[in-house]
Amino acid sequence: MGAVKVMVVDSDHTVVEAIKGQLAKSGFATISAYTAQDGILKFQQNLPSAIILRYSLPDKGGWQVAQRVREISDTPILFFSELGDRLSIERALAIGDEYLTRPWNWERLSAKLTVLLKRYGAKREETLLYDDGRLQIDVTNRRTTKSGKPVHLTDTEFRLLGYFVRKANRILGYDELITHMWGRADSGAKAYLSRYVGFLRRRIEDDPLSPVYLLTARGVGYWFRSHERPLR
């Protein structure tokens, strides 16, 4: 078995090299990226076991990198930043797993990384492919078919559907879904979410008014119900 891969994303080359050096001493294989776009691309190419991610990046926020990662994976994400305000921390932890503020050092970072890797190593494999004989959703390759025919989804629709599939059989609250999709809630966000759930129901359900996949937990949120036996 090869070394565990950890990706470090920060525009500061000095910081990246320092963290990589410590990771290498601890036996990790390292991947580096210096922009948000590069981080997204290298994640898709390398599928690291964990990500150490600067909260603020010049081309996009680190939060946006995390959001793209979350579309296909529950890979643990450790944010680090000079920002210690409540809003920044809450926003990061809505999608990431740990948040480290100054003063940081290798001992603190290493301890948090070790805990994350143990926690996620104990988790079961996430669902990246759903197939009940009638509906197939390939989250990794962003493909959906119904009764053997392609289902064409917009990027937003597939991001939402992919999140439902990865969290199958678990009720997802309105706030969690809105935060995952759009970052923060505002007036009208719940109605916007409801509209996209309606779009998805029209795409994948036989009867959108009596759904068997995308179900409503009244007053709480929505959930994707998986079916063990093939549906016909």
Which tops the pLDDT comparison, 135 or 180?
Answer: 135
Percentage of residues in the chain with pLDDT exceeding 70? Answer: 92
For the chain, what are the domain ranges?
5-121, 129-224
Query: pLDDT tens, 14-57?
Result: 999 999 999 988 888 999 999 999 998 888 788 788 999 998 88
Strand positions, DSSP E, the chain:
5-9, 29-33, 50-54, 77-81, 98-101, 129-131, 135-138, 143-146, 149-150, 172-173, 214-217, 221-224
What strand order describes the sheet that includes 5-9? 29-33, 5-9, 50-54, 77-81, 98-101
CATH number of 129-224: 1.10.10.10
CA geometry: angle at 156 spanning 150 and 157, to 5°? Answer: 40
Instruction: Check whether 230 has a pLDDT greater than 50.
Output: no
Compute the distance between CA of residue 16 and CA of residue 53 in angstroms, rounded to an integer: 10
Which pTM value belongs to this model?
0.55
CATH number of 5-121: 3.40.50.2300
Q: What is the overall mean pLDDT for the chain?
A: 85
- Identify the pLDDT of residue 231: 42
